[in-house]
Structure 1
């Protein structure tokens, strides 16, 4: 069942999105070579819980034990924060979900540590471009398949990359994962018709090599079967009559003076 939401719901989602985006903006200020991914997770938890008084919705979801999913290089998604120390050349995708008074916001953003290889820089640029182009397809009257087809065309036809098939976008609202399912591949003009009131994510995961995945022994972390690098960007959209509203657009938000003071005072 695809739920359709109202302006009252959107107000709560936007409030959660502001905190989510401020968390990403804070991460952008502190992420660097020499820091562990677990230290980043601890930082985000303190920022969301203690500083912003919100709930990190991924923590405890299906027994997931961390605030953030931090996926590095060949990890596709659901990466476990760990003692791994980031180094120059790493490509890091950080997925964050915030619950504020029942409003949910979900966005993944990718970060480069130092300089990437030419291939990985192209991968990162292509993934973000594909997301932004796919958002243009999310208008009432189009179908969900138009979104995935646009991403797959950019990744696999225009560039020599591959779209991960095993993990997809999703509806979000009352729950973190709802219908519709939003694949990042497939045929245009197929799937559910996009309607005013829908809320869903588009979150392409694109690999520099093979699209197939495998799961680590912990049952969570997905990585490419061939060890190739993967990149993910994700936005959450509210569908209005005149088109999509991207509530997780970081350019709409800024860090407050209190946020900057928290960051300056935080001890890694």
Structure 2
């Protein structure tokens, strides 16, 4: 599915409200996992806790069973960029852990990811985490009614490139989201602005830069899911689902505060309740 594809799904305010409920489940689950994660736990234990939490909140995990995926989280460690399958791997002090979570409420999806460090990490790793998260927010902040999808892409890339010599994954992108977890359009993390489908109220997108300390070249492991850097460099991943509201504001559906604090700090009109 290319980013020039049409047929994007535009949601009604009522449908967006349900997506917000799904987004809050995702946001709360990620915060729970952030607090739980520590050296000595396995990635499978984190996953089991996340599944129980999602279900306790009245939602269904988006990832579990998706094309045969066996977890409710993607847990990717160090040189694993995305789509790590939770299991018996034991987390260690100093690990860099990307945690991606999705949830469904009444048929509507939320999707977000965070990257956390377990204990002390080198300064370059801490900076990588910060740059990746900032790039995600710059991408969301670049979205305006009447703009184009690659306005987001350009903002993400511009921030990462200005911060240093990082790799930006090109074959893995953000995406539309709604009644399915992955929909048109794709949202690349690089490119010229002013291209792709037009941004309109009710279009929901997941913006998710995947950034490495080295090359952007990646390999797919034999499990057909886990994406790792080709050169062994460590990677970070940050993601939120957002929409534009009819009043021209921006609402981050998977952020617990709707994105209000960060959006307003970037000069963006907050569009949430």
1:148 and 2:153 are equivalent in the alignment: yes
Name whichever of 96-105 and 157-166 sits farther off: 157-166
Alignment CA distance shift 1:182-1:252 (3 Å): closer
Q: Which residue of 1 aligns with 2:137?
A: 132
Q: Which residue of 2 aligns with 1:265?
A: none
1:177 and 2:198 are equivalent in the alignment: no
1:22 and 2:28 are equivalent in the alignment: yes
Alignment CA distance shift 1:252-1:70 (3 Å): same
- Residue 252 of structure 1 and its aligned partner are, at CA, apart by 5.2
- Residue 111 of structure 1 and its aligned partner are, at CA, apart by 1.1
Could you list the runs of 5+ residues in structure 1 that have no partner in the other structure?
A: 254-268
Partner Cα separation in structure 2 for residue 243 and residue 139 of structure 1: 8
Partner Cα separation in structure 2 for residue 53 and residue 4 of structure 1: 25
Q: Which residue of 1 aligns with 2:71?
A: 66
CA RMSD of aligned residues (A): 1.3
Residue 29 of structure 1 aligns to a residue whose secondary structure is helix
Instruction: Report if the CA contact (8 A) 1:169-1:182 is conserved.
Output: yes
Count how many residue pairs are aligned between Structure 1 and Structure 2: 252
How big is each residue's C-alpha offset from its partner over 1:209-230, in whole Å with a ceiling of 9 and x where there is no partner? Answer: 0001110001111111101111
Q: Which residue of 2 aligns with 1:262?
A: none
Partner Cα separation in structure 2 for residue 252 and residue 245 of structure 1: 6
Partner Cα separation in structure 2 for residue 170 and residue 233 of structure 1: 13
Instruction: Report if the CA contact (8 A) 2:251-2:258 is conserved.
Output: no
Query: Given the alignment, which residue of 26, 40, 56 partners 1:34?
Result: 40
Please, what TM-score do these two structures have when normalized by structure 2?
A: 0.89
